[in-house]
Structure 1
Amino acid sequence: MKKSVKLLWWVFGGGLAFLVILILLINLRLIGHMPSIEELENPRTALASQVLAEDGTVMGKYLSVDRSNIDYKDISKNVINALLATEDRGFYEHSGISAKGTIAIPFYLLIGKKRGSSTITQQLALNLQADAEGKQRARNFFARAFQKLPEWVISIKLERNFTKEEIITLYLNTVTFGDNVYGIENGARTFFSKDPSRLSLEEAAMLVGMLKGPSQFNPRRNPQMARDRRNTVIENMIDEGYITKAEGEAAKNRPIVLRYNKIDHNKGLAPYFREVLRAELKTWCKEHKKADGTEYNLYRDGLKIYTTINPRMQLYAEEAVAKHLKDLQKSFAQQSNVKSGKVWDKRQKDLESFMKESDRYKQMKDDEATDEEIKKAFSTPVKMKVFAWRSFTEPDLNDIDTVMTPMDSIKYMRAVLQAGFMAMDPESGEVKAWVGGPNFRYFKNDHVYKTKRQVGSTFKPFLYCFALMNGFSPNAMLPNEPVTIGNWTVSRNSEGSVGGSISMAGALAKSLNLVSVYLIKQIGAKAFADFAQNKIGFEGKIPEYPSIALGTPELSLFEMLRAYTMFPARGVITKPIYITRIEDRNGNILETSVPEKREVISETDSYTMVKMMEGVTAAGGTGARLRFRFNIPGEIGGKTGTTNDNTDGWFLGYTPQLLAGAWVGCENNYLRFASTALGQGANTGLPIWAYFMQKVYADKTLGVDPNSTFPIPANLHNDLYFNYDSNVQPGAEAEDVGNGAATDYEPVVDVGQYGEPVENQKKEEPAKEKEPAKEKDKPAKDPATQPKDPKALMPPKPVKKDN
């Protein structure tokens, strides 16, 4: 044998031996990453975690890649046939590697023609490696050749450990359709808004056709190329006998009809809720370990988070907020100081701060623009997209294109009214609806859980409840007279009335500040603050100052609703819950939630408070328009609330089956309504509650009955009836008189809205006390009754310099 032939055989034999050894080392996991049998049987592909509503519908996802798994039986036969006809016609004959296709590769390379030789099993092996190592198909010839070796080994292992149907299912769950969409289920839902089992022949062909080039054959970007590729797949199906010639021709002639609906975190139900939930779940993942000791990953581990959100109630809540804010914004924008821009005349520091928070500013800083260049850019009109109310049923219609300076856009967007709304079952604590603002795309700040604002008169029911527990009777007649505590005097109610007397129940119904201050003087600010802080359990600080009788504490809507559960739930406070359980990707339950309950008052006292708070919505109460303007029937307890200078408007209300609350205001408290008629809680928060309940009562599938009643405690032989009448001077009984104007909250301290000195401010002389001050009514300098920082009390009304 010639030396050259011997050398050739030695090279061939050596090469073959090297290849065998290399494959053996790969199989033994000594070279590269080779998944174990356990990993192949349970592939750890990155799966999006899903947030599911009460009825099991997907509300949103947390993802690094948008992927979900599906079973073989739930995939349309059209998809399977299109896949086999196009990607691997010998799938059922080979054992993972196509010998014919592999041997043919060199010959196709010699003639300069590309030909795919990878089987479906090999493509799955590559996909699994990409998930495990973050690697994609190599572009370099030699790197790709080396990549083939572990592919072959994994392919053979897959064929030995899985059925053909399982391999097809795994493959279709790992393929990409572009747009960060992975898996046939997400592909079907994204491009056609369909379950994958219902895909038609032409729809299945289009999706399979996209596998060759997800971007190139994307029907949104390249419709003609996508159609041509789809028709090629249909031709393949005809060739393989999966469909007849007539069926194929009919399908090829049909246009591509997309119903594109990619899940966007800015869209969908309850985006504010989902963002608050995201933060909580990230903490949960850090605190919980998987079987291998590693932390859960919210974006890759395919968790299923089952929530209490009712999709229909959520939709009604979002529509209620949008419907009312759309109308209310018109009135707010027409105020002279807002319309003219004068409200910003002395807010240059604030505007500069807002500018520095903007993406435009940060980008210019990254591009090393000078301060002068940035200032000029923010004063130059440019095309932009801003939020504007045009529809309350179609949020996407509220994006408008306009031309304005970036600084003007800051002023414009800051003057958009914000809102928070939440509804829950007061007995179980289950949160049914959560709206954190007007539009999540533009306004990310959640006003249900995160935002804390002064609560105004919605705090009064706790004061009246504490008075009830300390011997006061709902029918006791109380003085509607000026009250002085220390150096703090309240001389009249918010609408100007003073004098006469009224029952305690009537005072709560009409939200009379004079009576509230009288009550806290009798029971003591320190004792009431202790009751609110330690018995009710507010997380926010409740200061021991008399002004808390008028609602100066800063609390969240979430906290307030939690506390209000004690009224309809027979004296028991129930912490709101919004997660029922968390499952892993395999359906194993990782955690379940149960409501936390505490009895804080007796059932009799809670029922008495319910009957007192029903007076708020009765004729003469501050929430009477709930009945006479919105025609809401049934037994309803509630409370309106309005803070200093109409900055915040509140309404919290409940029926025997549902508790809900609304807050309305601007992000900055110097942007507010000029009149109580517009800015009071009865005009801002209450209509949202009313619109929501109108829809809830009309939807009989929800089972919320307007004829349900609050259960009478067993120890009460007769129902309670209260006297809401009085001899208060005319004006106090007018509907929607408001509650909490600046003069009623005003301490005799010479400070402005932010604690700056105010010049030429008219101050009220404190009334002289007719009897020596009691121990609980100490002089103003004593910190027990007067704060060191005057801002702890509601600030006085600022000097108005415009109309």
Structure 2
Amino acid sequence: MILKKIKSPILRYAILALLALVAFFFLFIISIYWGAWGKIPGKEELSDFQYQRASEVYTADSVLIGKFYLYDRQPIAFEAIPKNVLNALVAIEDERFYEHTGIDYQSLGRVAVKTILMQDQSAGGGSTLTQQLAKNLYPRRDRKKANIVVDKIKEMFIASRLEGIYSKDEILTHYLNTVSFGDNTFGIESASLKFFNKQAKDLSVEEGAVLVGMLKATYGYNPRIFPERSLTRRNLVLLAMANNEYISAEQKDSITDVPLKLDYRDFDSNAGLAPYFREEVRKQLLKWNEKQKEEGNEYNIYTSGLKVYTTLDYNMQFWAEEAMREHMTSLQSSFEKSYGKNAPWSTNKKLIQKVVKNSDVYKKLKKQGLEHEKIMDSLSVKKELVLRDWGGEKTVQGSSIDSITHYMKFLNTGSLGIDPKTGAVKTWIGGVDFEHFKYDHVAQSKRQVGSTFKPIVYTAALETGTLPCTYFSAEEVEYENLKGWSPSNSGKKDEAYLNYSMEEALSHSVNTVAVKVLEKAGIQNVITMAKNMGIFSKLPEQPSLALGTGEIYLNELAGAYAGYVNNGKAVYPYLINVITNRKDSVLTKFEPKRAKKTAFSEETRQIMVEMMKGTIDKGTASRIRTTYKLNNAIAGKTGTTQNNKDAWFVAIMPKLVHVTWVGLDNHEIGFRSTSLGQGANAALPIFAKWMQEMNKHPYYNEITQAQFKRPNPATLEMLDCEPVKRDGFFKRLFKNPDKKKTKKFRQGN
């Protein structure tokens, strides 16, 4: 035996210990290889791994506006990765990449010497890009030191197998498609879109260096959070590129002087353009996905890399949101000032407690078994809060109750713009702030629609034989069989002796006349007309229906009004045009949904459009012309509900229908005055400001400059009458203007 010839026992035992250690290490590695510490993927598995791909949402004009994902990843082909990014990656992360076969033993030795013996922390890591790819594909689950050693050795085995399966170009492609850039963003394409708002193929040398530089520490070198650190790291990457002769020294020097410039776009569901629209698209995709499963197709909207091409117009949506923010900022200020120190969100303790009890935080504590008093005590504790208003965010000392009452006072809004021929949604604003108010006032909210229902009443009356020049008395009537109900008109105008034509009454939204028109048309006829026009919500079979007491979805109302410029046929607003797979093969194409039958005649359609043009030109919406100086062809209707709880405005153009609602989510709070809360003041400006912007852009002339077809001469003749007639002498003589007329409402029609 060789060991017996060694006379020194210490040396003999040392050699034995070393041999035992080598044997143990060899067995340890063999045990890892054979899967004792967890399975190592074989060549077959490594040859067929699948990326989880985010699904993308595009506007009709092909602008990416959102993603649905578990991991924000958009894999791309090698050809779509610019050479400068590949060079930067190899230069800074693995400069011997093209020489080793997955494990760089020379680099491992260098790192060991520099890091352990020379304490040089800038020596870098010993892992090759192939090993890092292995870690990306099979992330480490446990951070214990013993397990890290196992994981490192596993990654070496996987790296060797990857090198045997894929070319160097393929390994770089897989690496750049799987590596994390922080913020749940994976892959060079998603990172490029997030930080520079461009595809990876369009990255400049310095932009590519910024992204590659992040890989050492995605948070510490995040250019949005730490721009100075990121700039320093970028320049280090450029130096490595120059040292490896990927760029010249002159190029390096010139690029180093270029300042860091981002075009950051976060695809967070709470932020970005059209968040309410994107959420509705997501909900509809989930329903589509369920139908696909029933047909045997397996898709996942978060991982299958679907492409969803919607009907939304990017610019129109952007301008609509800008108009909404501008108007709502001003209106909110006026709203709060109108209440002053007597604001219900500050003084009405009963209302405040009711709202607090309905809050999520109260319900959570209640579910935990706490009594009311203890819950209120807990919610009254002062702490640091971040509250948002139209001026931005501010940090204050306040309680949870303070936060609840702060958001109680916020006016909200919903607006929808559609193509009246197809129902394609062009703009969709579900509320003022998706992060704080998730409730969508387009798709989820049913509100009383006020006077915007009157055109449906008038349409039914025309269809049942009432002529447009029929005069109706504006006199207030007390209906004996309706418990003395007596609808009145807004304003102080003395109308006891006045009789209005239908056009005059509609354009000035005269309540007393609307009820009489409903009486003449018949409640059931009006409800049938509403149904034929696309209103599917149940409506009250009451005379108050004439004043818009029925609760209707905003998108229903838009589809119904579309009939006035779509040959009497309602449309059903839709959001998605096409869904494709990641390779752009069409999976589903969505067709417009239109009513099969016309709801009313062409003659009635022309008459109604002319009447509603009067609303814009001389009626309740005349500020469209006088204040906002809009000369577009527009018809429309304003609406205000009882106690100024809801403000509405509907605009009809030959190629666009737009509906706006403004109010509070809490039905117990309304505008302090009609002058502030009427549709013409609270809702109309959102449309008007938006259209002002649209008019500036010739690209949209097809919409903004479109003209209504001229009505038939017979139609114009039917409308040719005096708008107002005053009672004759003898009728005035025997009428007491100070005494309400009483009668029974005829409900048999």
Same fold (TM over 0.5): yes
Change in CA separation of 1:18 and 1:647 when aligned onto 2, cut-off 3 Å: closer
CA distance in structure 2 between the aligned counterparts of 1:678 and 1:7, rounded to whole angstroms? 91
Please name the residue that 2:41 is paired with.
34
Post-superposition shift, 1:211? Answer: 1.5
Change in CA separation of 1:180 and 1:45 when aligned onto 2, cut-off 3 Å: same
TM-score w.r.t. the length of structure 2 is 0.85
Post-superposition shift, 1:703? Answer: 3.2
Contact 1:638 1:651 in 2 (8 A): yes
Please name the residue that 2:629 is paired with.
631
Change in CA separation of 1:479 and 1:46 when aligned onto 2, cut-off 3 Å: same
Post-superposition shift, 1:768? Answer: 4.1
| 662, 671, 676: which one aligns with 1:664 | 662
Paired letter, 1:34? P
2:548 paired with 1:551: yes
Query: For 1:355-504, what aligned pairs fall within 5 Å after superposition?
Result: 355-356=356-357, 375-376=376-377, 378-379=379-380, 382-390=383-391, 398-404=392-398, 406-483=400-477, 484=479, 486-487=481-482, 489-490=485-486, 492-495=488-491, 497-504=495-502
CA distance in structure 2 between the aligned counterparts of 1:439 and 1:461, rounded to whole angstroms? 32
2:155 paired with 1:121: no
Change in CA separation of 1:106 and 1:489 when aligned onto 2, cut-off 3 Å: closer
Query: For 1:584-603, what aligned pairs fall within 5 Å after superposition?
Result: 584-598=581-595, 599-601=597-599, 602-603=601-602
CA distance in structure 1 between the aligned counterparts of 2:705 and 2:222, rounded to whole angstroms? 54
Which one is further off, 421-430 or 217-226? Answer: 217-226
Deviations 1:577-596 (A, max 9, x none): 11111223333322221111
| 57, 70, 74: which one aligns with 1:68 | 74
Contact 2:534 2:570 in 1 (8 A): no
Post-superposition shift, 1:554? Answer: 0.5
Contact 1:271 1:440 in 2 (8 A): yes
TM-score w.r.t. the length of structure 1 is 0.80
Please name the residue that 1:720 is paired with.
716
Which one is further off, 459-468 or 82-91? Answer: 82-91
CA distance in structure 2 between the aligned counterparts of 1:53 and 1:672, rounded to whole angstroms? 36
Deviations 1:602-657 (A, max 9, x none): 333323321222121122x2222212222221322211111111111111011101
Partner-residue secondary structure (3-state), 2:328 = helix
Partner-residue secondary structure (3-state), 1:547 = helix
| 279, 283, 287: which one aligns with 2:287 | 283
2:62 paired with 1:56: yes
Change in CA separation of 1:151 and 1:513 when aligned onto 2, cut-off 3 Å: same
2:233 paired with 1:235: no
Query: For 1:39-118, what aligned pairs fall within 5 Å after superposition?
Result: 40-41=47-48, 43-98=49-104, 100=106, 116-118=125-127
2:342 paired with 1:340: yes
Deviations 1:379-426 (A, max 9, x none): 566543323334xxxxxxx32344555434433321221111111111
Partner-residue secondary structure (3-state), 2:462 = helix
Please name the residue that 1:310 is paired with.
313
Paired letter, 2:742? A
Partner-residue secondary structure (3-state), 1:720 = helix
Post-superposition shift, 1:489? Answer: 4.0
Deviations 1:323-377 (A, max 9, x none): 22222222211224x53235765552x4234334557657878999886565356
Change in CA separation of 1:466 and 1:77 when aligned onto 2, cut-off 3 Å: same
CA distance in structure 1 between the aligned counterparts of 2:374 and 2:242, rounded to whole angstroms? 64
Please name the residue that 1:270 is paired with.
274
Change in CA separation of 1:729 and 1:335 when aligned onto 2, cut-off 3 Å: farther
CA distance in structure 2 between the aligned counterparts of 1:39 and 1:582, rounded to whole angstroms? 30
2:563 paired with 1:561: no
Contact 1:79 1:208 in 2 (8 A): yes
CA distance in structure 2 between the aligned counterparts of 1:21 and 1:373, rounded to whole angstroms? 59
Post-superposition shift, 1:555? Answer: 0.9
Change in CA separation of 1:365 and 1:243 when aligned onto 2, cut-off 3 Å: farther
Q: Which 5+ residue runs of structure 2 have no aligned equivalent?
A: 5-14, 728-738
Paired letter, 2:248? T
Which one is further off, 373-382 or 490-499? Answer: 373-382
Change in CA separation of 1:729 and 1:40 when aligned onto 2, cut-off 3 Å: farther
Paired letter, 1:611? E
Deviations 1:274-310 (A, max 9, x none): 222222323333333499x685333333222211111
Partner-residue secondary structure (3-state), 1:767 = strand
Q: Which 5+ residue runs of structure 1 have no aligned equivalent?
A: 391-397, 731-763, 778-803
Number of aligned residues: 718
Deviations 1:669-712 (A, max 9, x none): 23222322222111111121111111112211123354422235
Contact 1:502 1:724 in 2 (8 A): no
CA distance in structure 2 between the aligned counterparts of 1:774 and 1:355, rounded to whole angstroms? 45
Contact 1:506 1:723 in 2 (8 A): no
CA distance in structure 1 between the aligned counterparts of 2:174 and 2:219, rounded to whole angstroms? 22
Change in CA separation of 1:90 and 1:304 when aligned onto 2, cut-off 3 Å: same
Contact 1:649 1:685 in 2 (8 A): yes
| 514, 523, 526: which one aligns with 1:525 | 523
Contact 1:49 1:304 in 2 (8 A): yes
Change in CA separation of 1:500 and 1:65 when aligned onto 2, cut-off 3 Å: same
Query: For 1:758-797, what aligned pairs fall within 5 Å after superposition?
Result: 767-769=742-744, 776=748
Deviations 1:706-728 (A, max 9, x none): 44222358xx4666352463335
Please name the residue that 2:733 is paired with.
none
Query: For 1:173-322, what aligned pairs fall within 5 Å after superposition?
Result: 173-220=177-224, 226-252=230-256, 256-289=260-293, 295-322=298-325
Partner-residue secondary structure (3-state), 2:319 = helix
Post-superposition shift, 1:460? Answer: 1.0
CA distance in structure 2 between the aligned counterparts of 1:366 and 1:241, rounded to whole angstroms? 66
Deviations 1:749-784 (A, max 9, x none): xxxxxxxxxxxxxxx988245xxx86728xxxxxxx
Contact 1:697 1:704 in 2 (8 A): no
More helix by share: 2
Query: For 1:602-613, what aligned pairs fall within 5 Å after superposition?
Result: 602-613=601-612
Change in CA separation of 1:517 and 1:258 when aligned onto 2, cut-off 3 Å: closer
CA distance in structure 1 between the aligned counterparts of 2:106 and 2:297, rounded to whole angstroms? 44
Post-superposition shift, 1:508? Answer: 1.6
Post-superposition shift, 1:457? Answer: 0.9
CA distance in structure 2 between the aligned counterparts of 1:593 and 1:296, rounded to whole angstroms? 18
Please name the residue that 1:615 is paired with.
614
CA distance in structure 2 between the aligned counterparts of 1:457 and 1:191, rounded to whole angstroms? 48
Contact 2:503 2:723 in 1 (8 A): no
CA distance in structure 2 between the aligned counterparts of 1:13 and 1:489, rounded to whole angstroms? 99
Which one is further off, 147-156 or 466-475? Answer: 147-156
Please name the residue that 2:331 is paired with.
328
CA distance in structure 1 between the aligned counterparts of 2:218 and 2:94, rounded to whole angstroms? 18
Please name the residue that 1:780 is paired with.
none
Change in CA separation of 1:161 and 1:570 when aligned onto 2, cut-off 3 Å: farther
CA distance in structure 2 between the aligned counterparts of 1:677 and 1:614, rounded to whole angstroms? 22
Percent identity, aligned pairs only? 35
Which one is further off, 567-576 or 119-128? Answer: 119-128
CA distance in structure 1 between the aligned counterparts of 2:747 and 2:705, rounded to whole angstroms? 49
CA distance in structure 1 between the aligned counterparts of 2:602 and 2:31, rounded to whole angstroms? 80
